[in-house]
Structure 1
Amino acid sequence: MTLLVGQYEGERLRHAGKVGTGYDTRTLRDLRERLDGLERDRSPFADEVRERARTAPGDRSRAAAGR
């Protein structure tokens, strides 16, 4: 699993890169359950993001948390 991360510049959430989680399977499942409720149709980032977060095999959902 890969997470896209960002940081706020004023009111705009700017894409800052991606990180691998390094979590074990149990933690990944827990994290997935928590993030599923935050799924969005559109990117929360102010700028265009060309890379995509990698999810668990067979899982095509995307999630992003706002503030």
Structure 2
Amino acid sequence: MFNRPCKLTIWEVVRLEGSIVMALMPVVPEFREAWWQQLAEQEKQSVMDLPNLDPMIFKQCTGITVSK
């Protein structure tokens, strides 16, 4: 996911809870950090559990700093 091949099909990926959470991320970059901070820990973890998630690439794409 993001920049490496994943064994899941697109249909499998879009059904993952983390993908659903990410679909709700604000389009405006300035609002993303506040959005991330208000998520429940379970929602954050579902994003972190997405296949091949790389924290550096996540930061580049979203502006949100995370650690795995």
TM-score (norm 2): 0.33
Q: Which has the higher strand share?
A: 1
- TM-score norm. by structure 1 comes to 0.33
Structure with higher helix content: 2
The structure with the larger Rg is 1
